[in-house]
């Protein structure tokens, strides 16, 4: 036999996530790692999502935040099916759904939450493609492409800019430019825009151009996907 299965005893940390404020998470995780580099560098982490408003695109951002801080997300715990589905799609393990029992005090910050250790076998860790994150504004006449991954935009996309992704696109500021998701035919790709003012959106080659953005969409949080070959726009 060329494969042996062994039970390991390495520490696997649980990060209880109590907010969907990604800006706050960026700051707290960076501060935590900087103060405990030996402990947390390349450490495997389970993300225990306890904020009921946490969404799949925010989970993608959180995974990338950990990656940028030399930590490794290996799986999640959550009762929310959207997050469970995203984890499975991304190659993350899904652990037992047991969360903090009602009435038990919760930590007030991420840095306090990242103190518990879980023990598990090493085969819980899986390989996945983390999303590409753009932290700067995307200016006119600029083209951004995310190959073989989803794309997360943390700043505004100006008119005349083109943003393309093999997978889904999540934009957390105003989008005035053009977004192309699933550019190699991924009909399951989605587009999320926090403040909609786009010139054009496209999924798997199916597109909608806006000379004037309809009032019902303008400056609203919008999720776009493909249903029966047509783009569907949902106000969130």
Query: How far is Cα of residue 149 from the mean position of the Cα atoms in its chain?
Result: 11
Q: What is the mean pLDDT of residues 17-30?
A: 86
Domains in the chain: boundaries: 11-124, 132-235
Q: Which of 196, 205, 199, 204 is nearest to 233 (CA)?
A: 196
User: Do residues 171 and 58 touch, judged by C-beta distance below 8 A?
Assistant: no
pLDDT tens, residue by residue, 163-172: 999 999 999 9
CATH architecture of 11-124: 2-Layer Sandwich (3.30)
Same fold, 11-124 and 132-235: no
Q: What is the mean pLDDT of residues 41-61?
A: 84
Q: Which residue has the tokens 């799949």?
A: 56
User: Do residues 69 and 30 touch, judged by C-beta distance below 8 A?
Assistant: yes
More confident position, 122 or 231: 231
Q: 75 has which bridge partners? A: 46, 93
Tokens of 195: 């403040």
Highest mean pLDDT among 6-10, 109-113, 130-134, 174-178: 174-178
Q: Which residue has the tokens 């794309």?
A: 151
pLDDT at 199: 94
pLDDT at 35: 84
pLDDT tens, residue by residue, 73-122: 888 988 888 888 878 777 788 887 544 444 444 444 454 444 444 433 33
Q: From CA 48, how far away is CA 16, in angstroms rounded?
A: 5
pLDDT at 27: 87
When the pLDDT of each residue in the chain is averaged and rounded to a whole number, the result is: 81
CATH number of 132-235: 2.160.20.70
pTM, two decimals, is: 0.51
């Amino acid at each position: 036999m060329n494969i042996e299965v062994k039970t390991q005893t390495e520490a696997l940390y649980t990060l209880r996530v109590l907010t969907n404020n990604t800006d706050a998470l960026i700051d707290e995780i960076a501060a935590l790692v900087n103060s405990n580099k030996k402990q947390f560098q390349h450490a495997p982490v389970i993300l225990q999502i306890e904020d009921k408003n946490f969404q799949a695109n925010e989970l993608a951002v959180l995974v990338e935040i950990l990656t940028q801080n030399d930590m490794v997300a290996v799986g999640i715990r959550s009762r929310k099916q959207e997050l469970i589905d995203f984890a499975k799609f991304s190659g993350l393990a899904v652990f037992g759904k047991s969360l903090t029992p009602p009435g038990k005090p919760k930590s007030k910050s991420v840095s306090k939450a990242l103190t518990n250790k879980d023990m598990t076998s090493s085969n819980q860790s899986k390989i996945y493609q983390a999303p590409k994150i753009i932290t700067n504004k995307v200016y006119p006449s600029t083209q951004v492409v995310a190959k073989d991954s989803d794309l997360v935009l943390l700043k505004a996309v100006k008119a005349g800019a083109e943003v393309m992704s093999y997978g889904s696109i999540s934009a957390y500021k105003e989008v005035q430019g053009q977004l192309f998701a699933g550019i190699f035919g991924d009909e399951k790709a989605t587009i999320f825009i926090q403040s909609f003012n786009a010139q054009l959106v496209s999924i798997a080659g199916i597109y909608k151009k806006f000379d004037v953005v309809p009032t019902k969409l303008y400056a609203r949080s919008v999720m776009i996907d493909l249903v029966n070959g047509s783009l569907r726009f949902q106000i969130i």
